[in-house]
Structure 1
Amino acid sequence: MVAAVLERDGRYLITQRRASAVLPLMWEFPGGRVEAGETDQQALKRELTHRLGVEIDVGKLISFVSHPYEHYVVDLFLYECTLVTELLETRAVNAYKWALSQEFDQYPFTPADEASMNKLLGVN
């Protein structure tokens, strides 16, 4: 799995999973699954276009966590990214927000994203 860390004016872009998704209505950094034959960068660009209708530039890898769930393990790679296009749409997400890191405790994050967030931002 790959996710984008997009920061603007001290706020980070987070997205809420759809009600029909695994871990419904939880919050996460935007991203998704890497398909066979794709690089992480290609997957991030595809997923953010699909989910939010935006184009991004993918920067450096900034964090990696491996999080065990009950029946599987998620390896999550977080990349520093920048928006190429500014207009966001809720295409394949329930909602999105630009949130300050100190506001993250107001949003129930997926366990893998929470582990990444804690490692990356030092949030408790």
Structure 2
Amino acid sequence: MKVLCGIIEKDGYVLITQRSASMSQPLLWEFPGGKLEAGETEKACLVREIQEELSINVSPVQRLDPARYTYPDKTIDLIPYTCTYNSGTIRLLEHATYKWVKPVELTAYVWCPADVPIIHTYLQQLQA
């Protein structure tokens, strides 16, 4: 299953979201996003999912290396894009909370397992 996630950047900060208690991987942190639908481009999926889940508008900028992770019930290919925040006020429709954090603070949170390699790839890219 292909899942897109957005590393949404704004003024030197990155948006992270905490899954709600009723979701799988409850209360773990993740980069927001969602499942790729048939016939949809990766970028279109990401723009749609972020709009649906958070009510904000973003522009995908750069695709980073995907990470494959096998959960007990499924295997996902998590495909990250760095994104620019464009507009909108965040409204949480699925998540428990969100934070804008400095990239160096990302490793201080407890993440969904699939997101962990994405964080390392992102931080390496920032140092390049």
TM-score by length of 2: 0.86
Are 2:67 and 1:65 aligned?
yes
* Corresponding residue to 1:34 among 33, 36, 47: 36
1:95-123 deviation line (CA, Å, top 9, x unaligned): 1100122322332100011111122214x
User: Conserved in 1, the CA contact under 8 Å of 2:65 and 2:79?
Assistant: yes
Q: Give how far 1:18 is off.
A: 1.4
SS in 2 for 1:90: coil
Distance in structure 1 (CA, Å) of the matches to 2:120 and 2:71: 17
Count residues in correspondence: 122
After superposing the two structures, state which structure 1 stretch, 28-37 or 80-89, moved more.
80-89
1:23 maps to: 25
2:47 maps to: 45
* Corresponding residue to 1:97 among 75, 81, 99: 99
Distance in structure 1 (CA, Å) of the matches to 2:85 and 2:102: 18
Q: Which amino acid aligns with 1:114?
A: V
Q: Give how far 1:49 is off.
A: 0.8
SS in 1 for 2:20: coil
1:108 maps to: 110
Gaps of 5+ in 1: none
Equivalent pairs: percent with the same residue?
34
1:68-112 deviation line (CA, Å, top 9, x unaligned): 223321101111211221421112211110012232233210001
After superposing the two structures, state which structure 1 stretch, 97-106 or 25-34, moved more.
97-106
User: Conserved in 1, the CA contact under 8 Å of 2:10 and 2:85?
Assistant: no
2:84 maps to: 82
- Report the RMSD for the aligned CA atoms in angstroms: 1.5
User: Conserved in 2, the CA contact under 8 Å of 1:32 and 1:44?
Assistant: yes
Gaps of 5+ in 2: none
